[in-house]
């Protein structure tokens, strides 16, 4: 066991993190987690996606002598991590089924010569007796099990191969084992500890909240328009749109492409080859938007996903947390919008019902109910999520969810507004749907409206100062409060008895106005303070060129956080560049000159202008 004091070890870890990664300080729990590895004491670290789990084993792997073994479930994940480490100048490699004989031999040689610091490997390959025998003579420093929840059948991504890892202890006695996961309920945590055979393990659970994510739930009224509203706030940025069914994936992707967005569909019905290509295009920033079922996500290490939209309600909060968690891994502001309709629960019930295993259906039903409570609840979304995962929420006002931002503000004169809308429906003869009614109220000169002579109605243009989306939402609100109902094949709007009473005599009604755009913009703009966006875009261009040259995804070269810091500080010397987060020695040596040249060019252009 390491005899150094915790202070000495921390200093050593920090020096390495600064040197290779260019990060000046630990994130929450990283130090404690790394110290366990340094002292050969088993541990399980639970941090949300983007919390910085990888560094918890990568930094000790560099700070300690010997070879660290990292168990990882997916080839794409291994490849990404190895690429990222190599770009930092750290000797890392992987062994998997997609490699040629030569590639495998090269890695084995680097292990034999004691050069390799981290070896990524799948669980099934690691436990093969040949692999274990070989590793026994290789000075293994510790074993890190990434995505450790895959070992538990209570988790949502059970991988039976992970179960074989319990054999490790017999073959590598004295080597500490460390698990890392983002999702872990008490039951899954206990299961990981027992299945991995962890001894006196400390379970380190970090804060589950992701303050950089802006959560919001919208009642789904017109999904395509609602999706486009979100996309309008994220021009040229990367994002994922999740749908429940393959059919929706295909249809949204097509419609969005027809409207000029660049998207690709992704679901289990596509060939492996197609899916891999799509994943690569997304990683390499050639395609900004993926429309997908839940099949998309694991193995996506892309850190600058700026928005995740759920076009339908996910089946559980665990899934929601995982999927929405793919946004903003770089710690910068990102937006997670969920479009919800009460019918979504029915779709899930249909998909998950299993008459032969009623206990499975019951568990799915419980998950659905928690998910529905989240969608309809009027409490801080961050607090609801954090509490669901068993932590106290300290957020009284998080300033990053629709509830706390008061995006849903009550309209002062709701009764007058409601009567305008009801009157509009009545004057049109109760023969038209939501979209048409909203257009008349907004004073549209559309052909159909003119043909019907509805521009002559006294209600035409009464709400011309509000957006069409807003007017549609008010109509929806009147529907859900039963002042209106929809009938017939064309879902025409009609007044109910309550609607008539409200129109003729007045009464109580609540309508809320959405201030979404403003709130989302202010959430993101705070992080852009002092940053020249044009320079940031130039730097992004440089990053793409460098990535193409090196044949790696752009985020492996620099994160968005680093580029933003460069665009804010505008460093002119290598020394100033060294002080920027994410620029370690190797990055400075490889790309420092290119960055300085770009900043200098920019400064000269500014002087010139």
List interacting residues with ligand ADP (CB under 6 A): 23, 26-27, 30, 47, 49-55, 303, 329-330, 559, 581
- The residue among 154, 149, 142 whose CA lies nearest residue 118 is 142
**Residue (303 or 316) nearer to ligand ADP, CB:** 303
CA distances from 23 to 13, 17, 411 (A): 11, 6, 47
* Block residue for tokens 């309809």: 376
361 Cβ partners below 8 Å, 6+ apart?
A: 352, 353, 354, 355
Q: How far is the CB of 47 from ligand ADP (least distance, A)?
A: 5
Main-chain dihedrals φ then ψ at residue 43, nearest 5 degrees: -160, 160
Q: How far is the CB of 180 from ligand ADP (least distance, A)?
A: 7
**Residue (135 or 308) nearer to ligand ADP, CB:** 308
437 Cβ partners below 8 Å, 6+ apart?
A: 421, 424, 425, 428, 475, 493
Q: How far is the CB of 56 from ligand ADP (least distance, A)?
A: 8
**Residue (17 or 524) nearer to ligand ADP, CB:** 17
Alpha helices (H) along 101-222: 101-112, 123-126, 129-136, 168-171, 186-196
Q: How far is the CB of 593 from ligand ADP (least distance, A)?
A: 23
Q: Using the CB atoms, write b or e for 223-250: b if 16+ within 10 Å.
A: beebbebbbebbeebbbbbbbbebebbb
The three-class DSSP label of residue 518 is helix
Residue 310 bridge partners (DSSP)? 242, 338
**Residue (30 or 459) nearer to ligand ADP, CB:** 30
Q: How far is the CB of 24 from ligand ADP (least distance, A)?
A: 8
**Residue (474 or 555) nearer to ligand ADP, CB:** 555
Q: How far is the CB of 387 from ligand ADP (least distance, A)?
A: 21
| Host H or E run for residue 365 | helix 358-376
- The residue among 67, 34, 70 whose CA lies nearest residue 52 is 34
Strand blocks (E) in 170-222: 176-181, 202-205, 213-219
The three-class DSSP label of residue 402 is coil
Q: What angle do CA 474, 243, 228 make, to 5 degrees?
A: 50
Q: How far is the CB of 279 from ligand ADP (least distance, A)?
A: 17
123 in Cβ contact with 159 (< 8 Å)? yes
**Residue (123 or 582) nearer to ligand ADP, CB:** 582
Q: Using the CB atoms, write b or e for 456-467: b if 16+ within 10 Å.
A: ebebbebbeebe
**Residue (33 or 263) nearer to ligand ADP, CB:** 33
309 in Cβ contact with 242 (< 8 Å)? yes
**Residue (54 or 361) nearer to ligand ADP, CB:** 54
Q: How far is the CB of 119 from ligand ADP (least distance, A)?
A: 18
**Residue (53 or 382) nearer to ligand ADP, CB:** 53
**Residue (99 or 581) nearer to ligand ADP, CB:** 581
**Residue (217 or 580) nearer to ligand ADP, CB:** 580
Crossing angle of helices 434-441 and 468-480, rounded to 10° = 130
CA separation for the pair 320, 496 (Å, rounded)? 37
Other beta carbons less than 10 A from residue 66's beta carbon: 14
Q: How far is the CB of 53 from ligand ADP (least distance, A)?
A: 3
Q: How far is the CB of 448 from ligand ADP (least distance, A)?
A: 50
Q: What angle do CA 25, 29, 32 make, to 5 degrees?
A: 95
Q: How far is the CB of 59 from ligand ADP (least distance, A)?
A: 9
**Residue (17 or 201) nearer to ligand ADP, CB:** 17
Q: How far is the CB of 83 from ligand ADP (least distance, A)?
A: 13
């Amino acid at each position: 066991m390491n005899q150094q004091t915790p202070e000495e070890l921390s200093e050593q870890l920090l020096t390495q993190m600064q040197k290779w990664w260019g990060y000046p300080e630990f994130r929450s729990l990283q130090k404690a987690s790394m110290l366990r590895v340094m002292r050969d004491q088993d541990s399980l670290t639970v941090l949300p996606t983007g919390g910085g789990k990888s560094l918890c084993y990568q930094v000790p792997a560099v700070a300690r002598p010997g070879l660290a073994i990292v168990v990882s479930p997916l080839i794409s994940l291994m490849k990404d991590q190895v690429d990222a480490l190599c770009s930092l100048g750290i000797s890392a490699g992987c062994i998997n089924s997609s490699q040629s004989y030569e590639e495998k031999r090269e890695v084995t040689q680097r292990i034999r010569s004691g050069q390799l610091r981290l070896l990524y490997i799948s669980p099934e390959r690691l436990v093969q007796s040949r692999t274990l025998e070989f590793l026994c003579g290789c000075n293994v420093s510790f074993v890190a099990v990434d995505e450790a929840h895959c070992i538990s059948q209570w988790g949502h991504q059970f991988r039976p191969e992970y179960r074989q890892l319990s054999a490790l202890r017999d073959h590598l006695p004295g080597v500490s084992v460390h698990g890392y996961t983002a999702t872990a309920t008490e039951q899954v945590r206990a299961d990981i500890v027992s299945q991995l055979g962890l001894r006196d393990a400390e379970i380190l659970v970090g804060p589950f909240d992701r303050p950089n994510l802006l959560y919001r739930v919208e009642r789904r009224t017109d999904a395509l328009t609602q999706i486009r509203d979100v996309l309008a706030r994220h021009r040229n940025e990367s994002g994922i749109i999740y749908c429940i069914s393959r059919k929706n994936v295909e249809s949204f992707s097509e419609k969005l492409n027809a409207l000029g967005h660049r998207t690709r569909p992704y679901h289990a019905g596509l060939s492996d080859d197609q899916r891999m290509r799509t994943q690569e295009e997304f990683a390499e920033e050639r395609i900004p938007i993926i429309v997908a079922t839940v099949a998309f996500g694991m193995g996506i290490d892309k850190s600058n996903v700026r928005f995740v939209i759920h076009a339908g309600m996910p089946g559980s909060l665990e899934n929601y947390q995982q999927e929405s968690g793919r946004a903003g891994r770089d710690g910068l502001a990102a937006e997670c919008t969920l479009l919800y309709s009460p019918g979504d629960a029915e779709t899930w019930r249909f998909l998950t019902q299993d008459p032969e295993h009623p206990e499975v259906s019951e568990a799915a039903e419980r998950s659905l109910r928690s998910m529905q409570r989240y969608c309809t609840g009027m409490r801080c979304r961050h607090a609801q999520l954090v509490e669901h995962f068993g932590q106290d929420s300290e957020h009284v006002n998080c300033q990053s969810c629709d509830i706390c931002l008061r995006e849903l503000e009550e309209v002062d004169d709701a009764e007058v507004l409601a009567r305008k809308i009801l009157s509009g429906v009545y004057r049109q003869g109760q023969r038209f749907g939501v979209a048409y009614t909203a257009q008349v109220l907004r004073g549209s000169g559309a052909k159909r409206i003119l043909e019907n002579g509805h521009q002559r109605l006294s209600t035409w243009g009464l709400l011309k100062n509000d957006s069409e989306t807003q007017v549609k939402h008010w109509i929806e609100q009147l529907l859900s409060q039963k002042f209106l109902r929809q009938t017939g094949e064309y879902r025409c709007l009609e007044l109910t008895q309550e609607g008539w009473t409200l129109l003729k005599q007045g009464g109580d009604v609540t309508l809320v106005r959405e201030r979404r755009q403003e709130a989302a913009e202010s959430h993101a703009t705070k992080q852009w303070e002092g940053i020249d966006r044009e320079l940031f875009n130039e730097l992004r261009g440089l990053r793409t060129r460098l990535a193409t040259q090196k044949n790696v995804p752009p985020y492996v070269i620099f994160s968005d956080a680093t580029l933003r810091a460069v665009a804010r500080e505008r460093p002119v010397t290598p020394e100033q560049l060294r002080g920027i987060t994410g620029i370690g020695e190797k990055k400075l040596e490889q790309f420092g000159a290119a960055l300085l040249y770009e900043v200098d060019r920019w400064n000269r252009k500014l002087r010139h202008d």
